């Protein structure tokens, strides 16, 4: 079975609720159909299989949403989520962009997961998650529809994240009472990876970010760690999967010690002396890349940066997508506290 792409689904079934197991198992099946051995990707089938939802100016779960083109040259789009006040029945575009109210309104720049290749800002699972973040964090959420690999490899996703961050900071209607946009960044899987790399550029450019939230962030390296060896093929993910996605994303000829994959590895950039945003790193104890996530936390600590680690021993990937487990509620409380600590 070494190097196999088969997953022991029965083992996964014993540790997650049934509907979560069905959701992630279906993703796994679809993902296997989409990846080709030659490194190409069946994008047409991917778009067909990905259940999408449109933006909705009429409130759903107390939140309305609308789509905005940020960069026409790259067709970069973001979906904006705002809490409904109860006054808007059928708001116009001008009402959708009315100034935020309240002394401090957090703006969460969100990057969806999918290993740089799957999902989008209008995927149903991420639309639901972003609506939850609005209510839980009392925030405006801007979900970035970044370009995906392998058609758009490194650094396209980072460039799109950077463009979205600058756009958010430039919107007058996102400013709080102190005339500042109070920006946090959040993402899961590849989205967590994007958060780190966009934050690096922001620090170098003097653009303020109040905090980074990384949910099961996608990091790696050339060395095979103990968690990779022990958890390969056990809980939805295989090393063969991970390696395929890194080859699809990284520059041609680069290995997994590239700084995009291994930020504190031999080619990484030192954060010592930098004013890096505070970070919340959520780690699932049954995620095979957890050792790389733990190494990321240690890298931040060694560089003198503020970081909180939340390690959930029996959690698997994707546990935060459905409110059917204790881990979900623990993480949502942590996110709320993390964002509100600056308010």
Give residue-wise pLDDT tens across range 284-315.
999 999 999 999 999 999 999 999 999 999 99
Q: How many residues does the chain have?
A: 343
* Sheet with 307-312, side-by-side order of all strands: 63-71, 76-83, 140-145, 106-111, 182-188, 211-215, 278-284, 307-312
Q: Name the nearest CA neighbour of 191 among 223, 210, 228, 164.
A: 164
Report pLDDT digits (tens) over 141-153. Answer: 999 999 999 999 9
pLDDT at 15: 74
The per-residue DSSP string of 38-82 comes to TS-B-HHHHHHHS-B----SS-BTTEEEEEEEEETTTTEEEEEEE
**pLDDT at 161 > cutoff 70:** yes
Q: Is 2's pLDDT higher than 50?
A: no
Question: What is the reported pLDDT for 20?
Answer: 86
Looking at residue 293, the DSSP 8-state letter turns out to be H
Q: What is the mean pLDDT of residues 212-232?
A: 98
- Residue 22 has a pLDDT of 87
Asked if pLDDT for residue 261 goes beyond 80, the answer is: yes
**What does the pLDDT average to over 133-141?**
97
Q: Is the pLDDT of residue 12 over 80?
A: no
Please tell me the predicted confidence (pLDDT) of residue 93.
Answer: 65
* pLDDT value at residue 90: 64
Of residues 83 and 94, more confidence is placed in 83
pLDDT (0 to 100) of residue 3 = 46
Q: In this predicted structure, what is the pLDDT of residue 1?
A: 36
Chain CA centroid to CA 282, Å: 11
Average pLDDT over residues 275-288: 97
| pLDDT for the residue numbered 85 | 77
pLDDT confidence bin for 4, thresholds 50/70/90: low
- Residue 45, pLDDT > 80, answer yes
Mean pLDDT of the chain: 93
Of 127, 159, 188, 287, which one is the catalytic site residue?
A: 287
Greatest alpha-carbon pair distance for the chain in Å reads: 59
Choosing from 176, 189, 190, 279, the catalytic residue is 189
Q: Which of 15-24, 60-69, 254-263 has the lowest mean pLDDT?
A: 15-24
Query: 137, 336 in Cβ contact below 8 A?
Result: yes
Cα-atom radius of gyration of the chain, to the nearest Å?
19
Catalytic annotation on 4? Answer: no
The per-residue pLDDT for 308 is: 98
pLDDT tens by residue, 48-91? 999 999 999 888 889 999 999 999 999 999 999 999 876 555 66
**Is 287 considered catalytic here?**
yes
Asked whether residue 94 carries a pLDDT value surpassing 80, the answer given is no
Whether residue 129 is predicted with pLDDT greater than 60 in this model: the reply is: yes
């Amino acid at each position: 079975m070494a190097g196999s792409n088969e997953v022991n689904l029965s083992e996964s079934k014993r540790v997650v609720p049934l509907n979560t197991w069905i959701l992630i198992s279906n993703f796994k099946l679809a993902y296997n159909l989409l990846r080709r051995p030659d490194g190409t990707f069946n994008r047409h089938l991917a778009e067909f299989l990905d259940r999408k939802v449109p933006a909705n100016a009429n409130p759903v779960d107390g939140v309305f949403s609308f789509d905005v083109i940020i960069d026409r040259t790259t067709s970069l789009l973001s979906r904006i989520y705002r809490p409904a006040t109860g006054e808007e029945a059928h708001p116009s575009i001008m009402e959708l962009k009315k100034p935020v109210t309240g002394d401090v309104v957090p703006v969460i720049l969100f990057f969806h997961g999918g290993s740089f290749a799957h999902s989008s800002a209008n995927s149903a699972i991420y639309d639901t998650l972003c609506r939850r973040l609005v209510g839980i964090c009392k925030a405006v959420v801007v979900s970035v529809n970044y370009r995906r690999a392998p058609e758009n490899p490194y650094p396209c996703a980072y460039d799109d994240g950077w463009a979205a961050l600058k756009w958010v900071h430039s919107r007058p209607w996102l400013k709080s009472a102190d005339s500042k946009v109070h920006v946090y960044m959040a993402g899961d899987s590849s989205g967590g990876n994007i958060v780190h790399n966009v934050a690096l550029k922001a620090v170098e450019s003097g653009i303020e970010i109040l905090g980074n939230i990384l949910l099961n962030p996608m990091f790696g390296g050339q060395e095979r760690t103990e968690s990779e060896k022990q958890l390969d093929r056990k809980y939805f993910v295989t090393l063969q999967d991970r390696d395929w996605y890194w080859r699809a994303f990284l520059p041609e000829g680069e290995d997994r010690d590239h700084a995009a994959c291994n930020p504190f590895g031999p080619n990484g950039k030192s954060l010592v002396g930098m004013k890096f945003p505070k970070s919340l790193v959520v780690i699932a104890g049954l995620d095979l890349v957890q050792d790389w996530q733990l190494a990321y936390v240690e890298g931040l600590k060694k560089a003198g940066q503020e970081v909180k680690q939340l390690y959930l021993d029996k959690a698997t990937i994707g546990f935060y997508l459905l409110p059917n487990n204790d881990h979900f509620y623990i993480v949502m409380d942590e996110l709320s506290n993390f964002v509100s600590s600056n308010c």
